[in-house]
A and B are shown apart, each in its own frame.
Chain A
Amino acid sequence: MSTYLTKRLLYMLVILFAASLLIFCLYASTPGDFITGNIKLTAERKAELREIYGLNKPMLERYGIWMNNAFHGDFGYSLAQQKPVLQLFNDYIWNSFLLAAVSTFLTWVIAVIVGVISAYKQYSWFDTLVMVAIFAAMSLPSFFIGLFLIKILAVDLKWLPPGGMITTGSNATGLAYLKEVVRHMALPVVVMTLLGLGSLTRYFRSNMIDVLKQDYIRTARAKGLKERKVLFTHALRNALLPAITLVGFELPALFGGSLIIEQIFNWPGIGQLYMKSFGLRDYPLLMGFTMFIAILTVIGTLLSDILYRVADPRVRL
């Protein structure tokens, strides 16, 4: 196990090194930079600024500086926001994480329950209804559902606020603040849950259908166990095993924000910051963020491998 871990950690370093090189070179060789877009500057001033920011140095040298700083805990300085990238992440990521954590939790819980019932009562009216709903949810684009819900629930019925994280100009604190945030996040969470629910429910349904056909389920029934026990003790654990792979992918998704949802609901998350930085060609921030997602992806994969080892006695690392 420990030799395996050491080996995996070494691989991770190699992968991250390659990823950093790729990320840096791709962004660095994109034509134009933060300064190019500013039409108010004269050519001399632009050259001066490039000299100050070190943008006129050769690409590999710039990569070296970037990496060196990164090892010292400095992931760059956002040119547009004039703040360290890490500080910006800290300001925005937790807002995204809040949405993602709640909606991921809801998605998994609902998907498991609906998937299990649907598989157990395959071809029943419930199952048919679920399948239709899944395909409907999967075929509607997120911006459509988002805008549709804003129109109905926020604009027409005025039940929920249409966007933002707190009411404009509000200085609520404590419980009142919490209540405000909850009300604001309701709509984006619903939309994100709906979007993830379809594929995950289908996934659990088909896993469960496969497992229910297995011989050991027949054995469990032949022992005279209650159906509830057969389903949840014997079948569910086996049906959940393949989903561990997905857990690895959920990690970057939890912190990565959502480009579209945050835009629609005007949620101050990292996805929105990312989109804005794209327009401004704020490369230090973009590179830092992409690298951050790469790190999370690699960690997520390792995590899912370790989880397999814990959950499935047949897996030996």
Chain B
Amino acid sequence: MKHLMNIEGLSTVFYTEEGKVAAVDHVSFQVREGETVCIVGESGCGKSVTAMSIMGLVEAPGGKVAGGKIDFAGEDLLGMDPNTLRAIRGNEIAMIFQEPMSSLNPVMKIGEQIMEPLMVHLKLNKKQARLRAIELITQVGIARPDQIADSYPHELSGGMLQRIMIAIAISCNPKLLIADEPTTALDVTIQAQILDMLREFKASGGMSILLITHDLGVVAEMADYVIVMYSGKVVEEGGVVELFNNPKHPYTKGLLKSKPVVGQRLEELYSIPGQVPNPLELEPSCYFHDRCEQCLPVCRSRQPQLKELDGGQKAACWLYEEAEVHV
């Protein structure tokens, strides 16, 4: 499959009062056409910042993309002037967010909010845009689309609002849909419906999905390719089957172990001991070393690089480097 997006060495930093924080630290990965890539990791590992960096929406005062390259369909997103990027945003790359309840403008009718990208990117007039908006509302499985188009966000449930967000996102047939924890705020039955819907649109529209989540259940259900992030770095990546069957990095192993298994009752669910390190106090080391059960002396002083292992998986861990050194 062809590469749709190729990210190389992306770094995004935030300047805070306490100092500079590298929220995304030399992250590289690819998204192929028609593929679903999942970024997994705990809160604060840089998943969402990666997404915002792709969109060019890193909050201006304080945060900025410090380096790297994002090649999207042959164009360099980071070197682009703001107007060209704006024409891509919402058009070729669309995004949906975690909180559907607060992601729509409370004083604007649903219909108008769906019409906006149609009028900006596809240059439809008001009448055409309205018709298309109603079609889109039907497409995301909401009844009485006319009535919904004239209602306000507070009159709809969270699940319906996320469907509306999806309608807005797919309105211009994007090549890439970035979904930042799209189901986290919804209850389980609605979660499944939303994920099914995303899969359906992916299949029919041929778009790629970059799905950001901390829910391994969602990953197993959706992903073709998985990227595991920790403290702003990619620690492991690989195909979903390989990664679930044969995780390499101790962090990935820990994540998989802490996932509850249906039908199995345990007194206590496994959790990785400790917490994500303070991004201000990172030193050259494996950032996971103090939580790692297989920590080696070298892990405390040097940072492992992402390396291709057998089976096409990649991991950044000294366990595998050491093995090579010993051989």
Question: B-contacting residues of A (Cβ < 8 Å)?
Answer: 122-123, 214-216, 218-226, 233-234, 237-238, 241, 311-314
Contact = CB atoms under 8 A, between A and B. Distances in A.
Contacts of B107: 237-238, 241, 311-314
Given A122-B61, A215-B99, A222 B108 contact: no
Given A224-B88, A234-B105, A313-B107, A219 B152 contact: no
A309 to B, nearest CB: 12
Interface stretch (B113-121, B124-132, B207-215, B273-281): B113-121
Given A215-B103, A219-B165, A224-B91, 8 more contacts: A216-B106, A223-B117, A225-B90, A225-B120, A226-B120, A238-B105, A238-B106, A312-B107
Nearest to B172: A224
A122 B106 CA distance: 24
Interface string B263-293: 0000000000000000000000000000000
B57 interface: yes
A224 B154 contact: no
Contacts, number: 75
Contacts of A238: 105-107
A154 B104 CA distance: 53
Interface residues of B, number: 28
Interface of A is mostly: helix
A214 B103 CA distance: 8
B152 A314 contact: yes
Contacts of A220: 105, 116
Contact of B55 (A222, A226, A313): A222
A216 B105 contact: yes
Contacts of A314: 106-107, 152, 154
A186 B87 CA distance: 47
A240 to B, nearest CB: 10
A216 B103 contact: yes
26 contacts: A123-B61, A215-B97, A215-B99, A215-B102, A216-B102, A216-B103, A216-B104, A216-B105, A218-B57, A219-B103, A219-B168, A222-B55, A222-B90, A222-B97, A223-B89, A223-B90, A224-B89, A224-B120, A225-B86, A225-B90, A225-B116, A225-B117, A233-B108, A313-B152, A314-B152, A314-B154
Given A122-B61, A215-B99, A222 B105 contact: no
